[in-house]
Amino acid sequence: MSQVEDVRAAADIVKVVGEYVQLRKAGANMMGLCPFHQEKTPSFAVHPGKQIFHCFGCGAGGDVFKFIMLIDNVTFSEALERLADKVGIRLTQTGPAGNDSRSQERTALYKIHEIAAKFYATQLTGTSEGRAAKAYLLDRGLKDEVIGRFLLGYAPRDGQALTRHLNSLGFSEDLLLKTGLVLRDGAGSHLFDRFRGRVIFPIANESGKVIAFGGRTLGDDQPKYLNSPETPIYTKSRVLYHLDSGGKAIRKQDYAILVEGYMDCIAVDSCGIENVVASCGTSLTDAQIRLLGRYSRRVVVNYDPDSAGMAATERSLNALLEAGFEVKVLALPGGLDPDSFIRKRGEAEYRRLLAEAPGYIDYLTDRAISVHGLKSPQGKLAVANAVLPYLARMPNSILRSEMTGRLAVRAMLDDRLLREELKRAAVERRPEIAGRPTEFKASPAERKLLRAFIEEPEVMDELLPGLVSDGILSGLVTEEIFTRLLEVRNSGETVDIHSFSENLNSEGRQLLHECLLASEDIPSREDAIRFCDALRRRKIERELSALNPAIDAAGKEQDWTRLAALNQNKVFLLKELARIRETLEIGNKTLTK
């Protein structure tokens, strides 16, 4: 029997598929919702005897290898390796010479990352420079046991420490470059370390193998966080930090806590709450959601409560709900992220708030009320309009009815009228939260700016961080593309269009390709600045439009304190709008129309 047949016989397709799909027995088959297309009635069948699957809805089908290839978007050789690792079979050859060569390369890359992780850990505890970094971690509330368990390390400021160490072990230059841990200088004559003078966070796959690293600066160096680039063993969009350790607890507790960054994840785990993972970025991907769904379909989203974190929460809500997850949201008070909150308020208070985390409808209602208020009919209507699209997409009619009644009470609206509005709410409509408008098409300014950034990385590095941090892109259809571009640049990598576009949805890929294939000349830096100003003007005009009704309502309610604050904000926005308009040429006035 060949190795392929050995693995096929050992990897029961029902168990493998069951990690991704909730299956129920139906005669001789197991049935569930197809993971390859959206459906409400199960049409996905698995035959335990024949060890095959087939979807009667979309036509996908095959054996256990085909399932892994489709669900994880990998080649046959990679599917074979993953299944062999799962069932404990050691492969001696993965196929033809080319495949075998790639397998050997991946094995070597795993080995280098394992060695690098131990090297960084030794530098943290065994050198004077590293002990200063360890003091930083101790000051952040981490104990020695936690530092050791997460294999935290330190990359020396010496730009060739890891390179020399790996060279001494006989690894080839070509292999070292493929790890992304080692770079070549501009002259092409020397190799140097990617991570220098940073605390190191090893990133592992589900099996616990180190596949990448994140590094945090100890000073004011930029970027604050630097990540490994994508490699043959690391695709960022398919990895969740701490899933290798937290997966068992997630299954046992039947829910996951989703946080943003490494330190947030470590802080929560340090409280003894192990069912936590980090998306390590503001864009939760479909692949990460599928991965998480293998452990539980229940999630508490605990992103940072700042504007960027709330926008990330909204994006994650949409994606998780579309995938059929049960979602709660924990928005910590005081504007604190999980790490800061636990250090300042303590483990017990975090546990209390976690236990009381509201469902996503209550969270969205709270947000909308805080923005619009309930003192005027317009405010009540705005609250309802913010939440109704989410209610309309709720799959469970009983729960939907209950939550609609709760919204009617919270927003002080007539229950019958609200239910009539719910029937008219379009499921496809993107909800408007905190006064953010729904955008369906990318404006000319967005398209041209996207092309300018792709073609001219220096311009992107200069202008994109400000657009993201100022919330200029919030609510635009290009927001996810620009945000992911910034993540790639912050990792120190150039943007590879092929791999970058593969991680976008179909609409994003189409938009990106349309921009890159446009017949116009590549926009200059000066053009890009004008496009940025056009988007800033657009944001201010939206804010002013939302501000006027609020000013009128405050006046009618004789809420003078609120009225004064709103008018002061309006004056500031009008001054900023006038400044931007002065910088825009008359010919650019149509850019955002």
Which residue type is seen at 296?
S
- CATH code of 579's domain: 1.10.860.10
**Do residues 465 and 483 lie in contact, with contact meaning Cβ atoms separated by under 8 Å?**
no
Please give the pLDDT value at position 74: 75
Quote the pTM value.
Answer: 0.66
Sequential DSSP letters for 113-176: HHHHHHHHHHHHHHSHHHHHHHHHHHHTT--HHHHHHTT-EEE-SSTTHHHHHHHHTT--HHHH
Region 32-49: mean pLDDT is 84
Longest Cα separation, the chain: 84
Residue 438's pLDDT band, with cuts at 50, 70 and 90, is very low
- CATH code of 104's domain: 3.90.980.10
| Pair 76, 207 in one domain | no
Last residue of one domain, picked from the residues 52, 87, 122: 87
Q: What is the extent of the structural domain holding 106?
A: 98-234
Q: Give the best-scoring range by mean pLDDT among 255-269, 398-412, 426-440.
A: 255-269
| Pair 122, 202 in one domain | yes
pLDDT at 147 over 70: yes
Q: Is residue 92 part of a domain?
A: no
Q: CA separation (Å) from 388 to 315, 385, 401, 565?
A: 17, 5, 12, 29
Q: Is residue 346 part of a domain?
A: yes
Q: CA separation (Å) from 352 to 141, 250, 263, 309, 503?
A: 20, 19, 20, 21, 37
- CATH code of 343's domain: 3.40.1360.10
Find the range with the poorest average confidence among 125-134, 292-301, 317-326.
Answer: 317-326
Please give the pLDDT value at position 551: 85
Count Cα neighbours of 72 within 13 Å in the Cβ-side half-sphere. 28
Q: Which helix (H) or strand (E) holds 505?
A: none
| Pair 279, 168 in one domain | no
- State the average pLDDT for the chain: 84
Q: How many domains does the chain have?
A: 5
Region 137-156: mean pLDDT is 96
pLDDT at 501 over 60: yes
Residue 155's pLDDT band, with cuts at 50, 70 and 90, is very high
Find the range with the poorest average confidence among 75-89, 170-184, 241-255.
Answer: 75-89
* Distance, first Cα to last Cα, the chain: 66
Q: Is residue 174 part of a domain?
A: yes
| Pair 151, 187 in one domain | yes
Region 189-211: mean pLDDT is 94
- CATH code of 33's domain: 3.90.580.10
Q: Which helix (H) or strand (E) holds 10?
A: helix 3-10
pLDDT at 509 over 70: no
| Pair 196, 304 in one domain | no
Region 112-138: mean pLDDT is 96
Q: Is residue 431 part of a domain?
A: no
Residue 584's pLDDT band, with cuts at 50, 70 and 90, is low
Q: Is residue 479 part of a domain?
A: yes
Q: Which of 254, 268, 373 is nearest to 325 (CA)?
A: 254
| Pair 60, 122 in one domain | no
- CATH code of 376's domain: 1.20.50
pLDDT at 592 over 60: no
Q: Is residue 63 part of a domain?
A: yes
User: What is the rounded CA–CA span in Å between residue 38 and residue 324?
Assistant: 10
* 549 vs 401 pLDDT, higher one: 401
Last residue of one domain, picked from the residues 178, 202, 234: 234
In this predicted model, what pLDDT tens digit does every residue of 399-430 receive, in sequence order? 788 888 988 888 888 888 888 887 776 444 44
Find the range with the poorest average confidence among 10-24, 83-97, 160-174.
Answer: 83-97
| Pair 392, 459 in one domain | no
Please give the pLDDT value at position 331: 93
| Pair 457, 353 in one domain | no
Q: Is residue 439 part of a domain?
A: no
| Pair 110, 203 in one domain | yes
| Pair 309, 399 in one domain | no
Region 525-543: mean pLDDT is 85
| Pair 227, 257 in one domain | no
Coil, strand or helix: which one is 332?
coil
Q: Is residue 344 part of a domain?
A: yes
Please give the pLDDT value at position 244: 92
Last residue of one domain, picked from the residues 207, 234, 261: 234
| Pair 107, 226 in one domain | yes
